Amino acid sequence: MIAASPPDTFLANALTLQSLPLFPLGTVLFPGGVLPLRIFEVRYLDMIGRCHRAGAPFGVVSLTQGHEVRQPGSGPEAFAAVGTLATIDTLEHPRPGLMVIRALGGQRFRVRSSEQLKHGLWVADVQQVQDDLAVAVPEDLQPAAEALGRLIVSLQDKGAAEPIPIAQPWRLDDCGWVANRWCELLPLPVALKQRLMELDNPLLRLELVSDVLAKTGITS
């Protein structure tokens, strides 16, 4: 376990990823992904405010036990050992006690040790996981990339007031990027999304996602 740290310690050590503040959620953030959040718990309002002022990342980890919002008698929180760095892209204060942010997924990390501070915030000493290698989408997996391209065009054509949930640049020729976007869009169990995110091989990740797309009729 790491020693308890003063509230500002994670800001000073952001580049070394020591005492990284964690945000356990009931979802999985993939590298390159978009994560909208409405924040009202004091422990996260304070943390997000500090990260935003310092331009520092926070870590998103998938809950394996407990709830996103602390509840009396809900038991301890537990989370996956691999998460994703998140940087704040936009932040708004619609009213006192509420933040609305758009965060972007960065590099994956592995939790080496973690500790919950007195006010409920988790901090961790983490080790960065190597980014996916750039692997071109092979011919037999092109239907997955083409279907994603059509979906992006469809979302753009709708002209919705809200931005589409896929951040540019669009890399439809890259296995990892295409697989990650489908993992975010498909209604897969959180535990399965977590396993897919942790895979070191982006080609294998896309192959597994393509099987799901074929079974659901999205591709043929």
- Domain coordinates in residue numbering, the chain: 9-128, 139-215
Residue 20 in this model has a pLDDT that exceeds 70: yes
- Mean confidence (pLDDT) of the chain: 89
In degrees, rounded to 5, the angle at the alpha carbon of residue 55 between the alpha carbons of residues 53 and 56 is 110
Domains 9-128 and 139-215 share a fold: no
Distance of CA 199 to the CA centre of its chain: 15
Give residue 148's pLDDT.
97
Contact partners, residue 209, CB within 8 Å, separation at least 6: 144, 178, 179, 182, 183, 186, 196
**Under CATH, which number does the domain 9-128 receive?**
2.30.130.40
Residue 143 in this model has a pLDDT that exceeds 80: yes
Residue 2 in this model has a pLDDT that exceeds 60: no
- Tokens 């990650």 label which residue? 180
Number of H helices, E strands in the chain: 6, 7
Give residue 7's pLDDT.
43
Percent of the chain with pLDDT over 70: 88
pLDDT band at residue 29 under the 50/70/90 scheme: very high
Half-sphere exposure of 28 (CA within 13 A, CB side): 27
On whether the 139-215 domain is CATH 1.10.4060.10, my answer is yes
Higher pLDDT residue, 66 or 189? 189
Give residue 160's pLDDT.
56
CB 57 within 8 A of CB 51: yes
pTM: 0.87
For the stretch 163-214, pLDDT in tens is: 778 999 999 999 999 999 999 999 999 999 999 999 999 999 999 999 999 9
